[in-house]
Amino acid sequence: MNEQQRKEMDQVRQRDPENNLERIKEKSSDDFMKYFETTYQPPNMRDAQRRRKQDVDVHYDFHIPEEMQGVGEDRKYLIRTYGCQMNEHDTEVMAGIFEAMGYESTNVATEADVILLNTCAIRENAENKVFGEIGHLKSLKRENPDLILGVCGCMAQEEGVVNRILKKHPFMDMIFGTHNIHKVPELLKEAMFSKEMVVDVWSKEGDIIENLPRSRKGKIKAWVNVMYGCDKFCTYCIVPYTRGKERSRLPEDIIQEVRHLAAQGYKEVTLLGQNVNAYGKDLDIGYGLGDLMDDLHKIDIPRVRFTTSHPRDFDDRLIEVLAKGGNMLDHIHLPVQSGSSDVLKIMGRKYSREDYLELVRKIREAMPNATLTTDIIVGFPNETEAQFQETLSLVEEVGFEAAYTFIFSPRENTPAAKMRDKVPMDEKKERLQRLNALINKQSKETMELYEGEIVHVLVEGESKNNAEVLAGYTKRNKLVNFVGPDSAIGQIVPVKITKAKTWSLDGEMVETTTGVKE
Ligand code: 5AD
Ligand code: SF4
């Protein structure tokens, strides 16, 4: 470390509390304009919408800048995560970066020196929760002006959100987006130095950085990114704006990561991508998710899952590989969104009800035992009762065993948010209830088929609701709570099902492995 860097590090470690307190005070609109001037890079959703042809470079040279090495000694970080598995995994990466700077993790807000909110923008209620949390953070900052507060993740990619934080919550120290989490050390340094809020949100995705550190939450199941971004632009969805264009990691990097996880004793990996079965399309090497799964099929790890698929990109090669069994699982999450071809068209899903049913037929033919689950949106602008009925009939026809169901939520900048909508909210809520009642009934019916059967459960630990019993999932993603020894945690064990509930199974561990239903 040279003299200059040593000085910088000293300054980083001794922040000026006066400056920090200054920003807690209420601001006039002149002050607000000043913040705009000191912003590095605010988000621009129009830019985020454009797709470039340029290739994406892959870098293997991430490092912590010298002046930030050791900056976290005797300091703690806390990251609150909202949203999907991709966000959970981004948090694991940021946790790895903080730990590489010497920080320790904490769950106690009053102990933390840095608090980040890793946010989700998918629906309005996800955003409301975050704004509630930002409000709580203000009092912590008052008590400890040295505390660094940041907002990152998908909400940070939205212009409206960043403007609202600049205007209403000027005590926040940093805002950065989903494309520059590898810049955390630099942004943290700026935030420690700066009098103003540090805003750095890249509206255009950057390159792929391969060698980021990761601090994974568990030792049994691991998430593995296979691709980033989404090019589908469904008319209701904000993800293509917040996560950028589709970029795939190179097969060898993914395979190496999974091998490494298997060697460390992990029992399950879930491959992640916003549109995971578009994997490889941008690489132009004639290698897709089916090929990747086939390569992972040969690795000695008991379970490989992937999420989330788009029906349009679910090809025959993938079905053929999944049908091989082994560590390929009989569970496919295949969001349909609506059962009406007319609604699907306005949603920009690029398939019809008939296309979806044909895909399900092909999957069932190749994998007769496959469990299918889905995502559904009710109350898309101007959805008629007849169109909603088509969704109900599709749910029955496919026999979904579980579904995540949502009321349409207008999202900033998306085409559907601009559509005039005549359907009253009460009607939408009532449709959601009817849909949920049907899904619950179907889930319960499939659960009942397991009573008296033996299934293999990957045991994750104590049940969330009852420390007396263990909990884990079957290959088909059924949650099982059962009585068994702690030594079973992290193992795949046979469990006899004694009782079926709507969303889970109860059972007891057994010795025998014959007659396992899976
Ligand atoms: N409103 C409601 N639900 C949405 N989803 C995505 N965007 C919206 C929106 N604007 C749902 C879809 C998607 C899941 C992750 O969230 O069903 O598959
Ligand atoms: Fe939420 Fe979608 Fe972003 Fe995941 S990708 S955090 S679901 S907005």
Pocket test for ligand 1, best of 122, 404, 421, 436 (most atoms within 8 A of CB): 122
Q: In whole angstroms, give the CA distance from residue 274 to residue 477.
A: 20
Q: Are the CB atoms for 399 and 372 separated by under 8 Å?
A: yes
pLDDT reported for residue 9:
54
pLDDT reported for residue 55:
78
User: How many residues are listed for the chain in this entry?
Assistant: 518
Q: Ligand 1: which residue has its CA nearest to atom 18?
A: 375
The 10s digit of each residue's pLDDT in 166-186 is 999 999 999 999 999 999 999
Q: In whole angstroms, give the CA distance from residue 227 to residue 257.
A: 14
The 10s digit of each residue's pLDDT in 503-512 is 999 999 998 7
Q: What are phi and psi of 460, to 5 degrees?
A: -95, -25
Preceding omega of 474 cis (within 30 degrees of 0): no
pLDDT reported for residue 1:
47
pLDDT reported for residue 32:
47
Token couple for 464: 């969330």
User: Which of ligand 1's atoms lies nearest the C-alpha of 375?
Assistant: 17
Average pLDDT over residues 60-87: 96
Q: For a pLDDT cut of 90, what percent of the chain falls above it? A: 84
Q: In whole angstroms, give the CA distance from residue 383 to residue 416.
A: 12
Q: Are the CB atoms for 357 and 398 separated by under 8 Å?
A: yes
Q: Separation of 243 CA from ligand 2 center, angstroms?
A: 8
Q: Ligand 1: which residue has its CA nearest to atom 17?
A: 375
Q: In whole angstroms, give the CA distance from residue 279 to residue 292.
A: 9
Q: In whole angstroms, give the CA distance from residue 272 to residue 93.
A: 14
Helices within 288-424 (DSSP H only)? 289-297, 316-322, 341-347, 353-366, 385-398
The 10s digit of each residue's pLDDT in 391-416 is 999 999 999 999 999 999 999 999 99
Instruction: For residue 127, count other CB atoms closer than 10 A to its CB.
Output: 23
Q: What is the 3-state composition of the chain as percent helix, strand, coil, each rounded to the nearest 5?
A: 40, 20, 40
pLDDT reported for residue 27:
47
Q: Give residues with Cβ within 8 angstroms of 7, minimum separation 6.
A: none
Q: Ligand 2: which residue has its CA nearest to atom 4?
A: 84
Task: Report which bound ligand comes closest to the CA of 130.
Answer: 2
Q: What are phi and psi of 348, to 5 degrees?
A: 70, 30
End-to-end CA distance of the chain: 57
Token couple for 108: 């106690």
Chain centroid to CA 499: 32
Ligand 2, CB within 6 Å, residue ranges: 83-84, 86-87, 120-122, 153-154, 238-239, 242-243, 274
Helices within 399-489 (DSSP H only)? 425-448
Pocket test for ligand 1, best of 406, 429, 435 (most atoms within 8 A of CB): 406
Q: For a pLDDT cut of 70, what percent of the chain falls above it? A: 92
Q: Is the CB of 175 under 6 A from ligand 1?
A: no
Q: Ligand 2: which residue has its CA nearest to atom 1?
A: 120
Q: Is the CB of 340 under 6 A from ligand 1?
A: no
Q: What angle do CA 483, 488, 492 make, to 5 degrees?
A: 105
Average pLDDT over residues 98-112: 98
Beta bridge partners of 121: none
Please, which pLDDT band fits residue 6 given cuts at 50, 70 and 90?
low
User: Which of ligand 2's atoms lies nearest the C-alpha of 86?
Assistant: 4
Q: Is the CB of 122 under 6 A from ligand 1?
A: yes
Q: In whole angstroms, give the CA distance from residue 104 to residue 205.
A: 29
pLDDT reported for residue 7:
57
Q: What angle do CA 358, 282, 303 make, to 5 degrees?
A: 60
Among residues 417, 238, 456, 483, the alpha carbon closest in space to that of 330 is found at 456
Looking at every residue in the chain, the average pLDDT score rounds to: 92
The 10s digit of each residue's pLDDT in 264-308 is 999 999 999 999 999 999 999 999 999 999 999 999 999 999 999
Q: Are the CB atoms for 199 and 162 separated by under 8 Å?
A: yes
Q: Ligand 1: which residue has its CA nearest to atom 16?
A: 122
Q: In whole angstroms, give the CA distance from residue 490 to residue 513.
A: 17
Q: Give residues with Cβ within 8 angstroms of 386, minimum separation 6.
A: none
Token couple for 420: 């005039």
pLDDT reported for residue 455:
96
Per-position DSSP letters for 108-176, written without gaps between them:
-GGG-SEEEEEE--SSHHHHHHHHHHHHHHHHHHHH-TT-EEEEEEGGGG-HHHHHHHHHH-TT--EEE
Task: Report which bound ligand comes closest to the CA of 414.
Answer: 1
Please, which pLDDT band fits residue 515 given cuts at 50, 70 and 90?
confident
Q: Tokens 């943290």 identify what position?
A: 188
How much is the pTM?
0.92
pLDDT reported for residue 471:
98
pLDDT reported for residue 44:
85
pLDDT reported for residue 54:
75
Q: Separation of 84 CA from ligand 2 center, angstroms?
A: 5
Q: In whole angstroms, give the CA distance from residue 270 to residue 111.
A: 33
pLDDT reported for residue 194:
81
The 10s digit of each residue's pLDDT in 15-72 is 555 555 555 554 444 544 444 434 567 788 878 888 776 778 999 999 999 999 999 9
The 10s digit of each residue's pLDDT in 429-473 is 999 999 999 999 999 999 999 999 999 999 999 998 888 999 999
pLDDT reported for residue 271:
98
Pairing of strands 58-59, 221-225: unpaired
Instruction: For residue 466, count other CB atoms closer than 10 A to its CB.
Output: 10
Q: Are the CB atoms for 243 and 229 separated by under 8 Å?
A: yes
Pairing of strands 268-272, 303-307: parallel
Per-position DSSP letters for 248-276, written without gaps between them:
EPPHHHHHHHHHHHHHTT--EEEEE-TTG
Average pLDDT over residues 207-233: 96
Beta bridge partners of 480: 472, 505
DSSP helix/strand/coil, 419? coil
